[in-house]
Amino acid sequence: MSEEVRYHMLRPGQIVERRKACPVAYIPIGTIEWHGIHNPLGADTLQAEGLAILCARKGGGLVFPPLYYGENRSEALMESNEASREPIAGEMELPAENFMPASHPFPAAEQVTNYNMLLRHILAEVESLGFEVGVIVAGHYPLIDHARAAVLLHNQKRSGARNRMLAWAVLDCGILQGRYEHPGDHAGGWETSHLLHLHPEAVDLNILPPKGTKLVGVGGFMEPQDATAEFGEETLEAAAELTVREVKDRLENPGRYRRHGACLQEGLWR
């Protein structure tokens, strides 16, 4: 049986033991978004949680419940893109108007502000629970910008506090730049491989048309028909290895990352 590292699944004594051994918290964030007819709608968040769990098992620490909700639903979302809105709505048997900005109670700018506040609230909550390093693991690529903004504000706001938590944000395809020729995609071979490794029961490659067919809301250099669980495991392991090394350095040398903007640095150990 795999080691349990999810904060919400452990008893207090177990949490204290793991936190004392490695006071690092991983916070997976994602969204609910179209990822082709072959992948689950929670694909981004499932990948973020999978990477976070792998990191905690490799390097210690605990994984907080993943965040599926709250991001900007009017921008940077496949369903909100003008080119893909109607085809996706058709596949979901929904009116395209459901994915228009008017369907949301807040304009895009307010959605961004609210999400930033939510991430900062989560970081403050995690800090209050005794962690020294808090890592936001982004699954939906556009969320890395929101995560980094929250990290910068969290670290800056608490610049005068003693023993404050150092926050950082990571994205799998971002940290793997240079290791793979084309890391990352949207529902293509990269992400589909991750899901085949993490949740094979939720992926169905058999319903895909022949290679070369244009697919709604799918893009990247590797076609989803070429996805394999083995490649998904390889890339997640590589991302986890680098992430754990970065986190370890932050845990052992927090002062190195206290300067303005320094908390976003990565690549010390590549």
- Among 32-41, 153-162, 174-183, 242-251, the least confident range: 153-162
Longest dimension (CA), the chain: 58
Query: Looking at residue 158, what is its pLDDT?
Result: 59
Q: Amino acid letter at 23?
A: P
Tens digit of pLDDT for each residue in 33-74?
999 999 999 999 999 999 999 999 999 999 999 999 999 999
CA distances from 217 to 82, 240, 241, 255 (A): 11, 27, 30, 43
Residue 268: pLDDT band (50, 70, 90) is low
Q: Residues with Cβ < 8 Å from 227, sequence gap 6 or more?
A: 188, 189, 190, 192, 193, 196, 205
Alpha-carbon distance of 13 to 145, in angstroms, equals 35
Q: Give residue 140's pLDDT band: very low, low, confident or very high (50, 70, 90).
A: very high
pTM assigned to the model: 0.96
Residues 6 or more apart from 82 whose CB is under 8 A from it? none
The pLDDT assigned to 163 comes to 61
Q: What is the CA radius of gyration of the chain?
A: 19
Per-residue pLDDT band for 262 (boundaries 50, 70, 90) equals confident
Lookup: tokens for 114: 């609210």
Kind and range of the H or E run holding 170: strand 166-171
What's the pLDDT score for residue 164? Answer: 86
Domain ranges of the chain: 7-181+240-262
| Three-state SS at 130 | coil
Closest to 243 (Cα-Cα) out of 27, 4, 13: 27
| pLDDT tens for each residue of 89-117 | 999 999 999 999 999 999 999 999 999 99
Token readout for 29 is 């964030």
On average, the pLDDT of the chain sits at 94
Fold observed for domain 7-181+240-262: Rossmann fold (3.40.50)
* Tokens of residue 172, six digits: 């799998």
Kindly tell me the burial class for residue 10, based on how many C-beta atoms sit within 10 Å of its own C-beta (0-12, 13-18, 19 or more): middle
Written as six digits, the tokens of 81 are 């893109």
Q: For residue 149, name the pLDDT band (cuts at 50, 70, 90).
A: very high
- Contact in structure between 169 and 147 (CB atoms under 8 Å): yes
Q: What pLDDT is stored for residue 269 in this prediction?
A: 47
| Tokens representing residue 139 in the block | 């699954």
